[in-house]
Each structure stands twice: as C-alpha cells, then as structure tokens.
Amino acid sequence: MTDHSMDWLPALLPSTVIIAIFLFVLKEGLEWNRRRRANNRQIRAFKTLLARECELNRWSMHGLSQALDEMVGQSADELSIDYEIERNQFGKVIFRNDNGSSWPLPEEHADFMRDNMFDVAALDETLFSLLESAYDSVVELAHLRQSFIQYLEIDRQHLEGFVGYGINRLKDIQLTLEELYLACTGEELGMGRVR
C-alpha cells in the first residue's frame, strides 16, 4: 500500500514554484544565520570596548577614592590646610597632601557608553540594562570628582561632610561598573587601565 497523502502537491503547485519556495526558505535561513553571526560579532566588539571603559573608569575612581580615604577622620581644620589641588602643565588635576604625596585625579570616561547606548539596546537587552546603570554611575562619578575639586579649591566648608558621602557613592559606582565588566568579560574588574 502506497502513501498518497502528498500526491496532490504537484497537482496544485508546479515544480518551479516548489523550487522557488525552497530557494526562498534557504535564502532566508542563510540570511538569518549571517545576521545572527554579525550581531554576535557586534556584541563581542561592544563588550570589548565597554570593558575597556570600565577599566578606565576604575582607574579614575581609584585616585578619588584614595584621596577621600586619606581624609577620613580629619577635622575641618586639618582638611582646610593639609590638602590641595594642583593642575599640571597639561591641565591634569593632581591631588596633593601635606606630606608631599600626590597622585592624579583622572577624568571619567562616558563618551563611548553614551554614544553607543542605542546600538547596544538594539542588540542585547540585558547588556543594555547593565550599560544604562553603568553610564548613570559614570555620570555620578564625574559629579563627585568635580564636587571634590571644587570643595578643595573654593568651598572647603563642605569638604568634611562630603568625604563620607563620596566614599559611599564610590562603592555603589564601583558595583555597577563591576557588573557590566563581568557581563562583558566573565572576569572581575581589577585596578583598571591608566589610559
């Protein structure tokens, strides 16, 4: 006994139509696979560059965190005379204490995060969510750094209250950068890149 369940197909559709449908499905499958591989490459590229941004921002946080940690427990009088901000010939901000130690307070890096947020959102919803939080944190890092510099240069009366606040905010900022870095690399965020 033969199976005649598909005998009606050639009668309804000529072989050229069947071949055309097959070729269309094959072409769409190949195109879908090409797009998927291209999207995966884009995501890998974004993750590589976002990880680098996290490393740069970790370095920016380090200088500010080190300065704030040194100021913990200092009286308002000590804060008003023991620390200062200098700018070198290249315009870089340097933190200096009264014992002669100094280190840079590098700027934050948010341009790549901001400029590529839309593209990341289109490719990977989870990565976008982490990027959005990290970007907000880096914007806050910029605000903390600028406030710290301003307090040291022109408004030392608010410096004492800012020290504890700044330390706590830096911990939260670091957590969001660590989450993004982990998603991008599968590794923990270390000290970071200097440049």
More confident residue, 146 or 9: 146
User: Per-residue pLDDT for 194 more than 60?
Assistant: no
Per-residue confidence (pLDDT) for residue 136, from 0 to 100: 97
Which pLDDT does position 150 carry in this prediction? Answer: 92
Pair 103, 63: CB distance under 8 Å: yes
For residue 52, the model assigns a pLDDT of 93
- Name the DSSP letter for residue 13: S
Confidence (pTM):
0.78
Q: Where are the beta strands (DSSP E) in 53-164?
A: 83-87, 93-97, 102-104
Q: How far apart are CA 96 and CA 174, in angstroms?
A: 24
Is-contact 31 23, C-beta < 8 A?
no
Residue 28: per-residue pLDDT: 67
Angle among Cα 137, 139, 141 to the nearest 5 degrees reads 70
* Residue that wins the pLDDT comparison between 43 and 169: 169
For residue 6, pLDDT over 70 is answered with no
Give per-residue pLDDT as tens, 73-130. 888 877 877 888 899 888 899 999 888 889 999 999 999 999 999 999 998 999 999 9
Place of tokens 């410096």: 159
Calpha distance 140→85 (Å, rounded): 20
53: phi then psi, degrees, rounded to nearest 5: -60, -40
CB 134 within 8 A of CB 174: no
Whether 179 shows a pLDDT value over 80: the answer reads yes
Sign of CA dihedral 47, 50, 56, 62: negative
pLDDT at position 168 over 60: yes
Q: What is the layout of strands, in order, in the sheet containing 83-87?
A: 83-87, 93-97, 102-104
**By three-state DSSP, how is residue 2 classified?**
coil
What is the average pLDDT score of the chain? 85
Place 12 in a pLDDT band, splitting at 50, 70 and 90.
low
